[in-house]
């Protein structure tokens, strides 16, 4: 079975500060890993994805994530937070025989002025 664990349901940063959202995965097969973002009252949209190519993945809005197999992690980072980054962020995993995407419980990012 596959799963993801997001550490920290709420993260607060100052505008301009580094954003770090943590995600650890569990998978018995090589995983595909994703970060999605959900703005208030909207659906989710894909930020970035890892599908066994480069371990450092760049996404939209200067977000990036690094796949670390030894640590079973796929943390999301952004060098400088912007007010518009305030949203709920979801890590997700899929792979192997399963053809469904399993989401983590989400991390709410707040950006303080």
Partner 1 sequence: DTAVSQTPKYLVTQMGNDKSIKCEQNLGHDTMYWYKQDSKKFLKIMFSYNNKELIINETVPNRFSPKSPDKAHLNLHINSLELGDSAVYFCASSQNSGRLYTGELFFGEGSRLTVL
Binding site for partner 1 (CB under 8 A): 32, 34, 36, 38, 41-46, 49, 51, 88, 90, 92, 94, 98-103, 105-106, 108
Smallest gap from Cβ 103 to partner 1, in A, equals 4
Identify which of residues 13 and 35 has a Cβ nearer to partner 1 in the complex: 35
Compare residues 81 and 106 and give the one whose CB is closer to partner 1. Answer: 106
Nearer to partner 1, 14 or 55 (CB): 55
The count of residues in the chain is: 113
Closer to partner 1 by Cβ: residue 17 or 101: 101
Residue 91: CB minimum distance to partner 1, A: 11
Parallel, antiparallel, or unpaired for β 87-95 and 107-112? antiparallel
The end-to-end CA distance of the chain, in Å, is 41
How many CA atoms within 13 Å lie on the side-chain side of 85? 29
Q: How far is the CB of 90 from partner 1 (least distance, A)?
A: 7
Secondary structure E strands in the chain: 3-7, 10-14, 19-26, 32-38, 44-50, 56-58, 64-68, 73-78, 87-95, 98-103, 107-112
């Amino acid at each position: 079975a596959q799963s993801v664990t997001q550490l920290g349901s709420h993260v607060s940063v100052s505008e301009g500060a580094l954003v770090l959202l943590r995600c650890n995965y569990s998978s018995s097969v090589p995983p595909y890993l994703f970060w999605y973002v959900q703005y208030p009252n909207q659906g989710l949209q894909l930020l970035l994805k890892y599908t066994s190519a480069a371990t450092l993945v760049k996404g939209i809005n200067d977000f990036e994530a690094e796949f670390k197999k030894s640590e079973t992690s796929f943390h999301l980072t952004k060098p400088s937070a912007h007010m518009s980054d305030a949203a709920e962020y979801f890590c997700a995993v899929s792979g192997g025989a399963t053809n469904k995407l399993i989401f983590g419980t989400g991390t709410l990012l707040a950006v303080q002025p």
